Structure 1
Amino acid sequence: MNSIAVDSTEARRTAGVTFAASLSFQDIRHGYHGKETIRGVSLTAKAGEVLCLLGPSGSGKTTLLRIAAGIEVQSSGRLLMNEREVAGSSGFVPPEKRGIGLMFQDFALFPHMNVLDNVRFGLTALPPKEATAEAMIALERVGLAHYAEKYPHALSGGEQQRVALARALAPRPGVLLMDEPFSGLDSRLKDTIRADTLAILRETRATAVVVTHDAEEAMRMADRIALLRDGRLVQVGTSDDLYRRPTDLFTAAFFSEINEFSSIVRDGQVETPLGKTRVSGIGEGCPVSVAIRLSGVVVREEGGEIPARILSRRFLGVVELLELAVPGTERPVRSRIRADVLAPGCKEVTVTVNSQDIFVFVKRAETS
């Protein structure tokens, strides 16, 4: 059943087929039952770009995707494709006329149709022979032409995902929208399927907007990531931007596990139980939140700056997850270290923090 990646590279046709379009959200607002769920989002997916909409459940990712597809209509704002308004004050272009492909979370394959007919389903504008030829090209591209006569129930989850991708690409859309496309796959297959999908997107040169709640998945796939929270755009940039230069505590915590401390700027620095850190651009006496990545908390048996005691130790294969008692805080400090660095049974240790894993943010009142 899980033969999806063995020879897919050799079997795939590798030709670019789409005329990629840009997709722009301009001050999009939307709500349900009087509650605003999208709050003034402005964002552009550039032509040929893979843009990931990232965020927790309820952040507005799928709603934005549905607005782009034409399934939902925004309360206000404009949606443009290649600078042409497709939803806004000047009118509404129906979904089937937008040149947008949509790939659902559950693949949404028709169980009573074989693979070829599933892929051919969206090609009704073409004569039957041309539709069949285009569907076969799409199946070749995902390495499943030899499964054309099979039915979805006979395929593995990964193979069904690739059929859904072929169906979405067959009409040669200018923009492909993908809603959590890998969430239903076995975790062992996800990496391979994701890599195959990304390779196909690159080959077809399609603009892709991918919804995910998984930061690592977004980093693996995206040219740029748009992080959302409560219907607002928090930060947009490359994975490097969001990981290394988070603009707030939410972003820092979304991209890595952190220890969080409260402090106040004194003499140009902040102090936590893990030491002092110099800050710039934050005023004297300003309350701040200090985020320290677990991977930045270096634990040694001796030679570190701060004494600590191991409270718990979890072996996770390549790494170990530690909980430490540190002077100055009643809450355990967590650390993620390489396995086997510490001797078995070791309890008394020392801690040092890597400066690049410390982030300081001004505390701001939560807005509704």
Structure 2
Amino acid sequence: MSCLKLNNLACGYPQHGTKNSELLVVNQLNLTLNDGEIACLLGPSGCGKTTVLRAIAGFHGLNAGEIWLSDHKLADVNSAVPPERRRIGMVFQDYALFPHLSVKDNVTFGLHKLSKSEQNSICHEMLSLVKLEHLGDRFPHELSGGQQQRVALARALAAKPSLLLLDEPFSNLDVDLRRTLALEVRNILKQQNITAIMVTHDQEEAFAFADVIGVMNDGKLHQWDTPYNLYHQPNSRFVASFIGQGVFLSGRINKQHIETELGHVACDVSSSVSENIVSENTETHVDVLVRPDDIIHDQNSTVTGEVCGKIFAGTSTLYTLKLPSGTELLANFPSHLDYSLGQEIPLSANFQHLISYAKETA
């Protein structure tokens, strides 16, 4: 059953120096989020993802479209349910805890209509959930960043929201803690069957946290899909280049294979080439997406790449390899294969999911 629906959503901001005119930062956005699903809006800075979150929360008006939550309309162009009546919780980037209140008082802040015993019961449940039951009497400044974020999560969940919104909640934490806390928060939300949307620009964080991810750019939703499909089956050139690491390699379709600098790649032309009309009687130039995991060390290959960069990552090493044409590729090799800068490596491509697009022209 769907929990959240956004229909043809558009949001804008007034343009300076122009009367009665707004610049749209979100335009014709549609998505559906099911009960219990955890989603993420991912995209570069300024793409409109935070504006979408603010519109759902009720902090930003609509220029067009509708917002529905569990079959109740929250907003359209002419009307809007106030934020405090939407049953939507929010976790902010800067935690937004009250510094003069204890952890317990922060968690129960929005529960003033309940009796004291009910407040204490919910507070104990929430602090146990985020594993902070022993810190209830402390104040925010006495906690670490990760602990403060857990308190913010406990406060948001205490009101039993129908939907939880998280605005880059881990961006103020160090890298290792961000990944760990993202997984912990995901487990808590799944345990409580909470539907949630997070905004982030960190792909690894999004992949670890979300069941479904929406890739945004220039105010539009390019693809709403699982992390696996975004990586292996991107539906546009932007998604293909934005998700993961990769380089576009020039190729030419010749019957049932694509000729590239790495050799012939057998393919089903109809399924491997997007945004292009392929004629049986003409050769079609394409750009083939080559990801680091597509490149293999192949002693039998006559194609070599010169090592011009390497990043050791423990279990693997990410190499930058320059082909004879000057094109640079990325390749992930097991860390026991150790090559020096300037060394030539024999290589070939093994595409499990071939992704190619019509050749871009200047």
Cα distance in 1 for residues equivalent to 2:341 and 2:48: 47
Q: Deviations over 1:41-64 (max 9, x none)?
A: 010111111111111111211111
Match of 2:323 in 1: 326
From 135, 138, 159, give the equivalent of 1:147.
Answer: 135
Q: Deviations over 1:160-217 (max 9, x none)?
A: 1100000000000000001111111122222321222111101211111111112222
One-letter amino acid of the counterpart of residue 255, structure 1: I
TM-score by length of 1: 0.87
Match of 1:29 in 2: 10
Which region of structure 1 is more displaced relative to structure 2, 176-185 or 254-263? 254-263
* Contact 2:6–2:68 (8 Å) recurs in 1: yes
- The alpha-carbon deviation at position 128 of structure 1 amounts to 3.7
**Mapped pair 1:70 → 2:53:** no
**Mapped pair 1:317 → 2:314:** yes
Unaligned runs of 5+ residues in structure 1 are 1-19
Secondary structure of 2:119's match? Answer: helix
Match of 1:44 in 2: 32
One-letter amino acid of the counterpart of residue 356, structure 2: V
TM-score by length of 2: 0.88
Match of 1:101 in 2: 89
In structure 2, do the counterparts of structure 1 residues 313 and 220 end up closer, same or farther at CA, with 3 Å as the change threshold?
A: closer
In structure 2, do the counterparts of structure 1 residues 262 and 347 end up closer, same or farther at CA, with 3 Å as the change threshold?
A: closer
* Contact 2:295–2:347 (8 Å) recurs in 1: yes
In structure 2, do the counterparts of structure 1 residues 75 and 287 end up closer, same or farther at CA, with 3 Å as the change threshold?
A: farther
- The alpha-carbon deviation at position 102 of structure 1 amounts to 0.5
In structure 2, do the counterparts of structure 1 residues 287 and 59 end up closer, same or farther at CA, with 3 Å as the change threshold?
A: farther
- The alpha-carbon deviation at position 89 of structure 1 amounts to 4.4
Match of 1:13 in 2: none
Unaligned runs of 5+ residues in structure 2 are 16-21
Cα distance in 2 for residues equivalent to 1:346 and 1:331: 15
Cα distance in 2 for residues equivalent to 1:189 and 1:39: 35
One-letter amino acid of the counterpart of residue 12, structure 2: G
Q: After the TM superposition, which residues 129-208 of structure 1 pair with which residues of structure 2 at under 5 Å, given as runs? A: 129-208=117-196
From 347, 351, 358, give the equivalent of 1:355.
Answer: 351
* Contact 1:215–1:254 (8 Å) recurs in 2: no
* Contact 2:305–2:321 (8 Å) recurs in 1: yes
From 287, 292, 297, give the equivalent of 2:290.
Answer: 292
* Contact 2:179–2:208 (8 Å) recurs in 1: no
Cα distance in 2 for residues equivalent to 1:296 and 1:53: 27
- The alpha-carbon deviation at position 286 of structure 1 amounts to 4.0
Which region of structure 1 is more displaced relative to structure 2, 335-344 or 103-112? 335-344
Cα distance in 1 for residues equivalent to 2:224 and 2:341: 45
Q: Deviations over 1:222-264 (max 9, x none)?
A: 1211111111111111112112211122222233211212444
Cα distance in 2 for residues equivalent to 1:330 and 1:205: 51
From 197, 214, 220, give the equivalent of 1:209.
Answer: 197
Cα distance in 2 for residues equivalent to 1:148 and 1:254: 42
One-letter amino acid of the counterpart of residue 142, structure 1: V
In structure 2, do the counterparts of structure 1 residues 115 and 244 end up closer, same or farther at CA, with 3 Å as the change threshold?
A: same
Cα distance in 1 for residues equivalent to 2:44 and 2:210: 17
- The alpha-carbon deviation at position 90 of structure 1 amounts to 5.8
In structure 2, do the counterparts of structure 1 residues 163 and 78 end up closer, same or farther at CA, with 3 Å as the change threshold?
A: same
**Mapped pair 1:280 → 2:269:** yes
Cα distance in 2 for residues equivalent to 1:259 and 1:46: 34
Match of 1:335 in 2: 331
In structure 2, do the counterparts of structure 1 residues 221 and 272 end up closer, same or farther at CA, with 3 Å as the change threshold?
A: same
Cα distance in 1 for residues equivalent to 2:45 and 2:361: 22
* Contact 2:308–2:341 (8 Å) recurs in 1: no
* Contact 2:178–2:205 (8 Å) recurs in 1: no
Q: Deviations over 1:297-344 (max 9, x none)?
A: 1134x22241333334443332223232322x2233332211121466
- The alpha-carbon deviation at position 296 of structure 1 amounts to 1.5
- The alpha-carbon deviation at position 87 of structure 1 amounts to 0.2
Greater relative CO, 1 or 2 (CA 8 Å, sep 6+) = 1
Which region of structure 1 is more displaced relative to structure 2, 254-263 or 357-366? 357-366
One-letter amino acid of the counterpart of residue 87, structure 1: A
- The alpha-carbon deviation at position 146 of structure 1 amounts to 1.4
Q: Percent identity?
A: 36
Query: How many residues are treated as equivalent by the alignment?
Result: 345
Which region of structure 1 is more displaced relative to structure 2, 257-266 or 235-244? 257-266
